[in-house]
Structures are given as C-alpha cells and as structure tokens.
Amino acid sequence: MRTPRHRLIRYSPLDRANHWSMAMIFILLALSGLAFFHPAFFFLSHTLGGPVWARILHPFLGVVLVLLFYAMAARHVSRNLLGENDVQWMRQIRDVLDNRDEKLPPIGKYNPGQKLVFWSLVVSIALLLLSGVIMWRPWFAGYFPIPLIRFASLIHSLSAFVAIVTIVIHIYAAIWVKGSIRSMTRGWVTRAWARHHHGLWAREQEEKQREHS
Amino acid sequence: MDNSQNIIARSATTTAPPQVRGHVEEVAKLIDVSKCIGCKACQVACMEWNDLRDEVGECHGTYDNPTDLTANSWTVMRFNEHETEDGDLEWLIRKDGCMHCADPGCLKACPAPGAIVQYANGIVDFDSNHCIGCGYCITGCPFDIPRISPKDQKSYKCTLCSDRVNAGMEPACVKTCPTNCIEFGTKADMLVRAEKRVGDLKARGFRDAGIYDPAGVGGTHVMYVLHHANDPNRYSGLPKDPRISPLVGAWKGATKPIMSAIIGITAFAGVIHYMTKGPKEEPEDDPGQEDAPADTLGYDATRRGSGQHEGSAGERPRGEER
C-alpha cells in the first residue's frame, strides 16, 4: 500500500505490534508487582487471577517483556544516542513544557525526553531481570544466598519504581502530544507533525522520499 | 488459625488487627542447651503432633538428621563438635527452629495480608492458607527458618504449637523432652528460670554462660541458655546480634509509602499539566506546500492551526538561526 504524500511512516507494523504487546505486559507486570509492593495495592493481584497466580505468572511475563524490550531496544539504540540540538532542547525544557514549540530547535526522530525514557527503561528493565531471577521462587532463589536475595528485592522494587514512573511519564507525553498515539496505533504521522516535532527526522525522511520518487 | 481475636500484628496490613481480648501474658519456650542430650525426642514429638512426615534423608556423617529444616521438619537438632583452646572437646547441641521474634522479619516482609500473624502472647504463626509462596518470609527472617514446601509452594515453620498453647497446653517438644531441657511458660517466668540456670552454670565454671534473648529483634519467644553466650555462633551458626536486615528495612519500610506517593504524584502532575498548559495540538497540514522540501519551508511553516498560540508566526526557531 502506498503512503499518501502528506504522511510519513514512523513505526512499522512490527514496531507497533511489539510496542502494544509490551504495553499490555508492562501494565500486567506493574499491577501485579505493585500488589506485592504495598498492601494498599494487594487487590491488584486479581488482575492476574489472584495472588498466587500473580506470584506464579509475574516472573514469566517479566521474561517475555525483557525479550520484547531488548529486541526493540537493539533496533532503536542508534536513534537514541545524544543527537544534534538535543542539549539545546533540554536547556529549553520550560519552552517544551509550556508548549512554546516554535522556539525549539529541530531535533531527530526522538527528542531528549524520549531518549531519557528509552535509557531509563534499558537500565531499569535490566536490573529488574537480574534481581527478579535472584528472587524467583521456586526456581532460582534457592541457589542464591539470602543476603543477596535481600539486596535483589530492594533493587527490584527500586527499579520497578523507576520503570513505572517512566511509563507514567511516557503515557502522559503520548496524551499530551497530539498525533503521537496515532503514530503508534496506525504507524504514520503527518508531514506537518514531523516537521513540527522532529524537524531533522522530517527532513531526512523527505529527502529519502524524494530519492525514491 | 486459632486465636483470631488476639492478633497484635498481621502481615501486609496497615490497619489494626483484631485484638479485642484483654490481658494476655507473653509466653516463651526456654531451651537450656547445657542440658540437651541430643535425643531428638523433640523432633519426633513435633512431627507427631503436627502430623508431619519428612522424606527419609541421607546420613552426612554427622548426627544432624535431617540435616536442615524443611517444610516437614520444623525443628532440628544441630550438632557441633567444638574444640576449646585447651584442646577439650565440647559437643554443642542446639535445637533449631523459629525463634518467634517480637519484631518478626518474616511478617514484615510478607506481602500477603494475614498469611503471617503475631498473637498477643508473642507467637508468630503462619496461616498457610493465605500464603502465596513468594518466599519473602525467607528473605526477611534473620535466622533462616521458613521453608517452602516443594509440594504446595507454601511456607512452613514452627508454630510454637499455637493450637496447643491456645488450649492451655505446652508445645509438643516441651512435653516430650526427657531432660527438661525445654521448658515453657510466661516469658517473665522463663527469664527467671534462665537466670537461675545461668547462675548455676557460672558457679560451675562457665564464666560466659548467659541467656540468648536477642534485643535486635525485640527479644524472642524462644530463648536459649548458652554456656558460651559470648559466642553464640559456636552453636551451629546462631547469630550473635540478629536483626532485620537494613536491606529488608529499606525494602519494606519507608520506600513503600514514599515510592507509592511519587507514582501517584507523577500521574497527578500530568493531569494538572494537561489542564493548565493543554496539549500540543496536532499541527495542521498545509496542502499547498506538502511537496516542497522541508528545508526551504522554515519551521514556522508548521505552526499550529487556528492561531491558538500567538507569537509562532514571527519567531524563527533557534535551530534555524545558527
């Protein structure tokens, strides 16, 4: 299917399928994890079919998330390194928050906020995997000394906290920046959107389009 | 679970547990290690009363049998052959099992409401019916006591025969001990007896005899009389100053409310930001220019439609100025 001229493809079908799989799994993981974190959230363990099922399923879901996430991260890491105008963009974070977008420099496919989300999750999910395996009963915890399990438990809750706050910010940003949810559900953005939010990426894509036409 | 109206602490519960019953004296089991002959009658009595049958294990060349606590062996005698500085042999035998801490690390760590309770008499009990098998009690315990059954993934440990005590009887191990090495009563009475016994031992030359009732966990409801209270580690690794690990304290302490609050505040901040600053509206397409190369347009060509924010037309973005 040909893309209409005023649209740019931002996320491939594979990217979208991966993203929404991760989204659903992350929510289930966060809810069931919070259930074990604080008594106030214990009722959330029913999202996985009750507290015992939550205990059984949570780590397996975690492994699936890790696989999906790092498959995605490996493909997108180069787009998430510090790029042109990123530092300037960060300096103008007040303009970003106050929606004075016209004052901002053009940036690449991801803005520094998105890159921060990316790296925050790269680190926190790695820590969640490592600490989670150490805590995982009945399969693995028995092979580790108890003091290490204690340390892992603390790391697991701290990194889960970081991941959850990051995702809350990620979700809010998607609601805040109109057009970005459609880019992840349908895959395309308008040229105007791309130029407005990711000027350097828009230029790059348009050049590519011209070469092909 | 018995004694359901006499609970002073309940796992994963932030409100007061039921404790309507009035004055209850704290109980304690006193194990006088210096009187133990290692007969293991207490192990047998424990299995019998609690109706537990462990798998037949293997002999590892020591008297320890089974060699460790299991979900079916809630108490084991630990034998240690200790050579003193003078070259004498001391055969130190310690009955290991739950210490029923006043400040129980298992209860603090447990995420399942009501799976671990502490009665007013000091007994820390597992209500295995509510256990979810996560093993956090093992993580929290400073004495490495709870064990998860491979059969049902529930955690088990000594109940201090809470069912017997509730009916006015002593624990099964106490009843069966042939040397009166294990005694049971109010904690106050047991401390008096322990002190008397420590006096005896000191008179016989055990200068370092003493009571093991570690303050780091608020005291315990299973206490030892040790001939070498200065070095409890000698008794098959009894910790000298047990306390709930600071890692467990951080994991299950202040971080819980603080991090929960921050997650909520973050979401709330998003709502407020949206209501006060509004969204970044989608810039409108400019059909006349869609084929023009982006770099000839200037970035104000992408200004948002219907003039919501003034100032966009006149200002050139910084990135273009350079």
My answer on whether B70 and B185 are in the same domain is: yes
* pLDDT for position B302: 42
* pLDDT for position B19: 86
My answer on whether B150 and B217 are in the same domain is: yes
Secondary structure class of B31 (helix, strand, coil): strand
Does A197 touch chain B if contact means CB atoms closer than 8 Å? Answer: yes
My answer on whether B223 and B272 are in the same domain is: no
My answer on whether B164 and B306 are in the same domain is: no
Number of domains in chain B: 2
Whether B250 maps to a domain, the answer reads: no
The CATH architecture of the domain made up of A8-212 is: Up-down Bundle (1.20)
CB of A74 within 8 A of CB of A80? no
My answer on whether B202 and B77 are in the same domain is: yes
Tokens matching residue B144: 């490495």
DSSP structure string for B197-222: HHHHHHHTT-TT-EEE--GGGT-BSE
My answer on whether B209 and B265 are in the same domain is: no
Does A75 touch chain B if contact means CB atoms closer than 8 Å? Answer: no
Q: Which residues contact B275 (CB under 8 A, 6 or more apart)?
A: none
Whether B105 maps to a domain, the answer reads: yes
Q: What is the pLDDT of residues A126-166, one digit of tens each?
A: 999 999 999 999 999 999 999 999 999 999 999 999 999 99
User: Taking the model in full, what pTM does it have?
Assistant: 0.89
Q: Is the pLDDT of residue B311 over 50?
A: no
Q: What is the pLDDT of residues A21-63, one digit of tens each?
A: 999 999 999 999 999 999 999 999 999 999 999 999 999 999 9
For tokens 């649209």, the residue is A7
Give the chain A residue whose CA is nearest to the CA of B285: A192
Tokens matching residue B94: 């310690």
Nearest by CB to B251, from A98, A137, A157: name it: A157
Task: Select from B227, B185, B225 the least CA-distant residue to B205.
Answer: B227
pLDDT band at B307 (very low <50, low <70, confident <90, very high): very low
CB of B186 within 8 A of CB of B25? yes
The H helix count followed by the E strand count for chain B is: 9, 11
Domain encompassing residue B36: 7-229+239-244
ipTM surpassing 0.95: no
Q: What is the pLDDT of residues B221-247, one digit of tens each?
A: 999 999 999 999 999 999 999 999 999
Nearest by CB to A196, from B260, B263, B302: name it: B302
* Residues of A with Cβ-Cβ distance to B260 under 8 angstroms: 34, 37-38, 40-41
My answer on whether B93 and B182 are in the same domain is: yes
My answer on whether B263 and B223 are in the same domain is: no
The span from the CA of B179 to the CA of B10, in Å, is 36
- For chain B, what is the mean pLDDT? 89
The span from the CA of A159 to the CA of A33, in Å, is 12
My answer on whether B146 and B279 are in the same domain is: no
Whether B251 maps to a domain, the answer reads: no
My answer on whether B92 and B42 are in the same domain is: yes
CATH number of the domain that residue B108 is part of: 3.30.70.20
Does A192 touch chain B if contact means CB atoms closer than 8 Å? Answer: yes
Sequence ranges of the domains in chain A: 8-212
- For chain A, what is the mean pLDDT? 95
Whether B95 maps to a domain, the answer reads: yes
Active site residues per annotation of A: 170
* pLDDT for position B37: 95
